[in-house]
């Protein structure tokens, strides 16, 4: 799962608290399957990659259009707000209300987030509500959509103000090294954020509880034991109020580490498919991906902030009259920082995506080695593709800029072809350098 992406987003946009609250995408599928009899499945039988439906291809193509629009819009909106002088007027207002630097930041940032949220409301509504409903992918009511939006905005305001205090304090005190100190200072917050997110933030949006199917829970915990994960916690979340799609993810850090299953996944996948998806999640756990993703976020943050540090003074020197401020340490520069961070992230995103795909592939490999359920894995991916209107073989723009996971086609191919040799006890023998062994 793309924790990388989630944390990238968290960091890239962290400055203004635009933290994504949606869990990263994971094997999602729908379609009811009758409980598969465990004994009757030949796990070595290959599974064909289905052709995407016309509806799926339309969803994919329009999705690419929206993706391109969002990239441009993400630059255009902060540019408009800062270059029109609106940001500086907003800061003057905030200074009058807030008095003193501390209060100014605390008033400016929520105001800025509120204004942008209102401007973006129609776009968010179309992309987050109308479009998924039109394709039969969403169950969300208007009320739930609005509540989630308001909650998200509230969380962003609170987190955004905290981050802005730190960032602007460092900008004022150390104009030459602020980017380094901010990145270093973000590490404890990233760790704390990873710890707190599943306990305090996620439950604001949905109900998390223990698994209802105790037998399946036992199978999952058995699997976790074999994967070397002790006292693993498995939670079930009521995502069926929001979506038709299916997902599972690992989250948390230290004591808050957990595997979360959407109830939609439990309803629509067969038991062996669920176990394969769980084994994939356990792979993220066992291979230390949560911590690695936090580290990669740190590297991205450092690079992004350094870019801001180098580029912003030139922009301010040239346009200060228009901007209405002449120092980066003026909180009115917030949209400019956001704009430059977005530019940096556009350039850095392909590397972040490639790293995420690598982790996802390793988790798939782990799942096959742990369970030997090649066919169940492949059939889970088939459901994911058909029910979520996926394109199993997306084009290169999608692959480079958007794909946090290997394509569904590649994942099914891998399930069909990767046959780790097993010892007499059925445990996989480590693959030699040079590729998987054929049976």
Q: Which is nearer to Zn ion, 1 or 11 (CB)?
A: 1
Stretch in the footprint of Zn ion (CB under 5 A) among 8-16, 129-137, 202-210, 359-367: 359-367
CB of 26 to Zn ion, least distance (A): 5
Q: Which is nearer to Zn ion, 107 or 278 (CB)?
A: 278
Helix 334-371 × helix 54-83 angle, to 10°: 150
DSSP for residue 414: H
Q: Which residues contact 307 (CB under 8 A, 6 or more apart)?
A: 340, 341, 343, 344
CB of 127 to Zn ion, least distance (A): 24
CB of 295 to Zn ion, least distance (A): 17
What is the rounded distance in angstroms from the CA atom of residue 107 to the CA atom of residue 165?
11
Q: Which is nearer to Zn ion, 110 or 390 (CB)?
A: 390
Nearest to 323 by CA among 22, 111, 79: 79
Q: What is the DSSP string of 147-188?
A: HHHHHHHHHHHHHHHHHHHHHHHHHHH-TTTHHHHHHHHHHH
DSSP for residue 365: H
In the bound state, the residue with its beta carbon closest to Zn ion is 1
# residues contacting Zn ion (CB under 5 A): 3
Q: Which is nearer to Zn ion, 289 or 309 (CB)?
A: 289
- DSSP-derived 3-state class of residue 403: coil
CB of 301 to Zn ion, least distance (A): 22
Euclidean distance between the first and the last CA atom of the chain, given in angstroms as a whole number: 29
Stretch in the footprint of Zn ion (CB under 5 A) among 96-104, 156-164, 182-190, 360-368: 360-368
| Pair of tokens at residue 277 | 């998806």
Nearest to 17 by CA among 152, 169, 120: 152
What is the rounded distance in angstroms from the CA atom of residue 311 to the CA atom of residue 313?
6
CB of 243 to Zn ion, least distance (A): 18
Stretch in the footprint of Zn ion (CB under 5 A) among 100-108, 109-117, 148-156, 363-371: 363-371
CB of 47 to Zn ion, least distance (A): 19
Q: Please pick, from the candidates 1, 82, 170, 415, the single residue that binds Zn ion as defined by CB under 5 A.
A: 1
Stretch in the footprint of Zn ion (CB under 5 A) among 124-132, 268-276, 357-365, 416-424: 357-365
Q: Using DSSP, how many helices (H) and how many strands (E) does the chain show?
A: 16, 4
CB of 23 to Zn ion, least distance (A): 11
- DSSP-derived 3-state class of residue 55: helix
Q: For Zn ion, what does the binding mask look like between residues 315 and 354, x meaning CB under 5 A?
A: ----------------------------------------
By CB under 5 A, residue 367 contacts Zn ion: no
Site residues (vs Zn ion, CB under 5 A): 1, 360, 363
């Amino acid at each position: 799962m793309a924790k990388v992406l989630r944390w990238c987003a968290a960091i890239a946009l962290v400055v203004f608290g635009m933290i994504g609250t949606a869990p990263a995408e994971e094997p999602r599928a729908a379609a009811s399957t009758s409980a598969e009899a465990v004994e009757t499945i030949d796990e070595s039988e290959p599974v064909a990659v289905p052709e995407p439906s016309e509806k799926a291809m339309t969803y994919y193509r329009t999705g690419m259009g929206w993706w391109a629009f969002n990239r441009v819009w993400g630059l255009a909106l902060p540019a408009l707000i800062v270059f029109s002088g609106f940001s500086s007027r907003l800061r003057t207002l905030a200074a009058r209300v807030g008095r003193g630097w501390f209060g100014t930041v605390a008033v400016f940032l929520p105001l800025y987030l509120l204004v942008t949220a209102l401007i973006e409301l129609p776009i968010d509504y179309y992309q987050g509500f109308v479009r998924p409903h039109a394709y039969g992918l969403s169950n969300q009511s208007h009320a739930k959509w609005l509540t989630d939006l308001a909650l998200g905005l509230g969380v962003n305001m609170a987190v955004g103000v905290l981050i802005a205090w730190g960032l602007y304090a460092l900008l004022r005190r150390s104009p030459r090294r602020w980017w380094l100190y901010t990145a270093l200072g973000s590490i404890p917050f990233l760790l704390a954020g990873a710890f707190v997110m599943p306990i305090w933030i996620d439950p604001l949006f949905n109900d998390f509880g223990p698994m209802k199917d105790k037998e399946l829970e036992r199978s999952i915990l058995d699997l976790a034991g074999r994967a070397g994960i002790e006292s693993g916690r498995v939670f079930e979340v009521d995502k069926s109020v929001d979506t038709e799609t299916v997902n599972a993810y690992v989250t948390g850090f230290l004591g808050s580490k957990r595997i979360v299953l959407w109830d939609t996944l439990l309803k629509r996948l067969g038991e062996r498919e669920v176990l394969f998806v769980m084994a994939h999640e356990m792979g993220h756990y066992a291979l230390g991906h949560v911590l690695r993703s936090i580290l990669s976020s740190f590297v991205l943050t450092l690079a992004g902030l350094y870019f801001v540090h180098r580029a912003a003074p030139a922009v301010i020197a040239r346009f200060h009259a228009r901007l209405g401020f002449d120092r980066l340490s003026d909180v009115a520069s917030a949209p400019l920082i956001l704009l430059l961070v977005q530019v940096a992230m556009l350039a850095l995103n392909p590397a972040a995506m490639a790293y995420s795909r690598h982790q996802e592939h390793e988790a798939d490999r782990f799942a096959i080695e742990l369970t030997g359920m090649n066919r169940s894995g492949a059939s889970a991916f088939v459901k994911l593709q058909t029910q979520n209107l996926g394109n199993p073989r997306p084009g290169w723009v999608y692959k480079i800029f958007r794909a946090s996971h290997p394509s569904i086609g590649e994942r099914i191919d891998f399930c069909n072809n990767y046959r780790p040799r097993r010892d007499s006890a059925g445990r996989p023998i480590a693959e030699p350098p040079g590729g998987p062994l054929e049976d």
